[in-house]
Amino acid sequence: MIDSEKLLDVPDSFGEITPPGPGRLELDELMAQLVERAQEVMTTQGRLRGLLRAHRAVAADLSLEVVLRRIAEAACELVDASYGALGVIARDGRLEQFIHVGMDADLVSSIGHLPRGDGVLGLLTAEPRPVRLDDISAHRHAVGFPPGHPPMRTFLGVPIKVRSEVFGNLYLTDKRGGRRFTAQDEEMVLALAASAGVAIENARLFGAAQRRQQWLQASADIMRHLLADGSDPLDLIVGRAREVAAADLACVLLADEATGELLVDAADGPGADALAGRAAAAAGTLAGRSVAAGRPLLVDDAAAEPGGSGIGAVEVGPLMVIPLVGAQTRAGAVVLARRPAGRPFADSDLDMAATFAGHVQVALNLATSRATRDRLLVLEDRDRIARDLHDHVMQRLYAVALGLQGMAAAEERPQPAGRLSTYVDDLDATIREIRSTVFELRGRRSTGGPGARARLVEIVEEIGEALGFSPRLRVDGPLDSVVEGVVVDHLLAVVRESLSNVVRHARASRVELVVSVSQGWLRAEVTDDGVGLGGTGRRSGLHNLRSRAEELGGTFDVAAGPTGGTCLRWSVPLP
């Protein structure tokens, strides 16, 4: 039988707990360190996974704008930042682009203009190395935030380099949970920035290849248009150049050979209608300097340059000028501009635009050659017409006139004889007009432009609209082949002034203008059947006609017409 008291009699040695020895403590510490290291490994593994996701996101597209935004978004996700931005550095060290994430559009609109690289952002540009701050407002370069800007405290910024050159900066602010950015965050963002540089370079190369293809396609379109005898090649040139260069305004300037000014021959974009045909001084302007030097020119702000852009009063910012210099074309330039404060053109844009300008020059040379060919064809046709008129029509008219003259001499009855004499006079006048036409056709072979006779016809038609009937015009002699230069200018001014006087004062129903060239003299005679000169009123117009004659060593007189009215005679010797 078991004694319960003996069972309850426990030795004193069982009542004491023996503390663990030194081996037990080391094992616990090792287990704790192992758990801590495991957590660190898991955290690092999570960060690496995040970095790989960021790499994949950045490299998933070849559009530069999309790549830049994805870099900013991936950086925020990688280090758990509330706000992120990527600033692209311009040639002057300022920020030409600022891609931001974390703020909605309404908040951005209420803040106003985007940062241009002042304060701490500018410090990162001046010294391209990582910057990590626990309180951005406490930094000595801090300039504060504009009204409406959300408060920001912690800051991490790293440069992004493309081929050892700083492309821009990556800015991250406000790590979530009020935490600070750590050295590990900095290392992760630096690793992202390294891969971002490669992605940016790939996107830039892809974009440059696309733009080059667009420039080549534009050149091919222009050449195809010209080879198909298309009209207005300059309009197509400026339209395609503006489209491909993403410019707000494009125009072609061609030098005026007489004045040396640059004329806007074609323009496309806002304000283009007001620019067309305007003249700009070549000396001192950006366009004039580029044309004179024969070298392309690229500026970020035309308004800040001395002399201005050279394309009139239109305000522009970034500007490219590509000169056109060719043996068959007038000196000129293709000008591409963006609005003030617009994104500057890149050096690659200038290279591709210069190649395009070379194709434009070839196109203009082709157009000039075609115009010359067409003009020669017209002149050859005029020669043929003049020869046929002289050799066939005039000879037949001479024969008819001689026959009628013989019949009139043999006719004894006075009435039929007088009628035949009238026919002879009419044929003689017709022969003189045909001879004048022959002289005009042959006299314009050298210039191909409108001759004096054609310009006289234009003046007569213009005055005829004011008179209500067409004045009769008769030209005798080789006017276009003999009369030229300043004498033509005086002649046209005299004719216009004389016919204008008839419109204002004569109240005539018949006006005749006779211009003749004979025996070394040029004569112009205007006869009307109006009311005559009348009293001794103001006659400054007649004084001008007389002074023009005396300037050339000639004479001028006014007399009554054969049937009333007035007859003005203006005569000058030919040089």
Structure tokens at 550: 């005396």
Fold of the domain spanning 229-345: Beta-Lactamase (3.30.450)
Class (C level, CATH) for 450-575: alpha beta
- How many Cα atoms occupy the beta-carbon half-sphere of 268 within 13 Å? 20
Per-residue confidence (pLDDT) for residue 8, from 0 to 100: 44
pLDDT of 326: 61
Closest among 256, 229, 195 to 50, alpha carbons compared = 195
DSSP, residue by residue, 73-104: HHHHHHHTEEEEEEEEE-TTSSEEEEEEESS-
Report whether 282 contacts 261 (CB < 8 A). yes
DSSP symbols for 237-257: HHHHHHHHTT-SEEEEEEE-T
The whole-angstrom separation of Cα 440 and Cα 445 is: 9
Cα separation, 456 vs 439, whole angstroms: 15
Listing DSSP states for 386-407 in one string gives HHHIIIIIHHHHHHHHHHHHHH
> How far is residue 146 from each of residues 125, 170, 186, 285, measured CA to CA in Å?
21, 20, 27, 38
What local confidence, expressed as pLDDT, does residue 2 receive? 43
Per-residue pLDDT of the chain (575 residues; tens, 9 = 90+): 445 444 444 455 444 555 555 566 677 777 777 766 766 656 555 566 666 666 666 666 667 788 888 888 888 888 888 998 888 887 667 777 788 888 877 777 767 666 766 777 777 777 888 888 888 877 777 777 777 678 888 999 888 888 778 888 888 998 888 888 888 888 888 888 888 788 888 887 887 788 888 888 887 887 777 677 666 677 788 888 888 888 888 888 888 776 777 888 888 888 777 777 777 767 778 888 888 888 888 888 887 787 777 676 677 888 888 887 665 556 788 888 888 877 778 777 777 777 777 777 777 777 777 777 777 777 677 667 767 666 667 677 767 777 777 777 777 777 777 777 777 777 777 776 676 666 666 555 444 456 788 888 888 888 888 888 888 888 887 787 788 888 888 899 899 888 888 888 888 889 999 998 888 899 999 999 888 776 544 455 688 888 889 999 999 999 888 878 899 999 999 87
| pLDDT given at position 447 | 47
Which pLDDT score, from 0 to 100, does residue 301 have?
82
Q: What are the boundaries of each domain within the chain?
A: 41-208, 229-345, 370-448, 450-575
Select from 93, 99, 90, 107 the least CA-distant residue to 71. Answer: 99
pTM of the predicted model, to two decimals?
A: 0.50
CATH 3.30.420.40, domain 41-208, yes or no: no
> Does 229-345 match 450-575 in CATH topology?
no
Cβ 70 vs Cβ 83: under 8 Å: no
Instruction: From residue 333, give the alpha-carbon distance in Å to each of 320, 323, 458.
Output: 10, 4, 34
CA-based radius of gyration for the chain: 45
